[in-house]
Amino acid sequence: MAVKRTPFIAGNWKMNLDHLQSIAFVQKLAWALSDAKHDFADAEVAVFPPFTDLRSVQTLVAADALPIGYGAQDLSKHDSGAYTGEISGAFLKQLDCGYVIIGHSERRTLHAETDADVNAKVVAAHRHGLVPVLCVGETAEDLEQHGASAVPVAQLRAALDGVDVSKGLVVAYEPVWAIGSGQAATPAQAEQVAAALRAVLAEIAGEELASATRVLYGGSVKAANIASFLREPNVDGALVGGASLDIDEFSSIVRFKKHVGA
């Protein structure tokens, strides 16, 4: 199990920052990263802006060869056709997106996405060469009734039904009760669920792919707590919501190495 996984710090902007604001933000982030070359050298950083920002972000990242990845917050399970308001994975690939968030709890609850929808979206992402950032997580009620791991593990199994994990996957464990609440899971809780998710990955895809797949923690991550999560052996990074909109806070999260052992 001594596989080295590149830490991944991902900013989910949700429905914030328009395309002009996205340009300013990514420019500032690039400056902050170049300032901190040593610290962040072995981490990967990506932002997940609204769809309408992606072309601007692409242009900026490509023009200056910025070391910043990006992706969308959702995609359609269909490739094209009469699906008003939907966005095809083909369009995202055209914009050089590397990743796409799938199954975020806000999509599952506010847009009634089922495990079957999430599974179809993972397959669609792979069809277009995008790496899914697959979100799983339990509600406060689930936690009380079934413990922390049961629901995320069931969601992972359902999402990966028939999926070829070798086509790329990042898993994000986001307890619903920790999202936007200011009450993050403890590092030990995150580690426990991340380890359970990795064990399921091993069962589904084999030890080698499981130990190469990054499992992130998300839910009230801030500069002040990022290092404590990243010290855990099975937590390989973070999916950051609110704190990814504040350039100082997000830059500080990305420079997490500074905090390790500090």
Q: Which residues does the annotation place in the binding site for substrate?
A: 12-14, 180, 220, 241-242
Tell me 231's DSSP state.
Answer: T
- The residue count for the chain: 262
Catalytic annotation present for 203: no
> Percent helix, strand, coil in the chain (nearest 5)?
50, 15, 35
Catalytic annotation, pick one of 44, 104, 113, 232: 104
In whole angstroms, how close is the CB of 252 to ligand 13P at the nearest point? 14
Rounded Cα gap, residues 22 and 59, in angstroms: 11
Q: Considering only residues 77, 200, 242, 250, which one is a binding residue for ligand 13P as defined by CB under 6 A?
A: 242
Place of tokens 């590397």: 98
CB of 75 or CB of 205, closer to ligand 13P: 75
In whole angstroms, how close is the CB of 144 to ligand 13P at the nearest point? 20
The answer to whether 239 contacts ligand 13P (rule: CB under 6 A) is yes
Please give the size of the binding site for ligand 13P, defined by CB under 6 A. 14
Pair 222, 253: CB distance under 8 Å: yes
Q: What binding mask, one character per residue, do residues 1-40 give for ligand 13P by CB under 6 A, x or -?
A: -----------x----------------------------
Place of tokens 């922390």: 148
Residue (of 103, 122, 100, 222) closest to 174 by Cα position: 103
Q: Give kind and range of the element (H or E) at residue 30.
A: helix 19-35
> Restricting to residues 74-93, which ones interact with ligand 13P according to CB under 6 A?
none
Name the closest residue to ligand 13P (Cβ).
Answer: 241
> Restricting to residues 97-156, which ones interact with ligand 13P according to CB under 6 A?
104
In whole angstroms, how close is the CB of 109 to ligand 13P at the nearest point? 12
Q: Which residues are annotated as a binding site?
A: 12-14, 180, 220, 241-242
Residue (of 205, 144, 143) closest to 173 by Cα position: 143
Query: How do beta strands 44-48 and 237-240 pair?
Result: unpaired
Q: What binding mask, one character per residue, do residues 218-237 give for ligand 13P by CB under 6 A, x or -?
A: xxxx----------------
* Other C-beta atoms lying within 10 Å of the C-beta of residue 9: 25
Rounded Cα gap, residues 26 and 47, in angstroms: 9
113, two tokens: 């996405």
Q: What binding mask, one character per residue, do residues 149-188 give for ligand 13P by CB under 6 A, x or -?
A: -------------------------x----xx--------
The type of residue at 12 is: N
Catalytic annotation present for 104: yes
What are the residue numbers of the active site?
A: 104, 174
Residues that bind ligand 13P (CB under 6 A): 12, 104, 174, 179-180, 218-221, 239-243
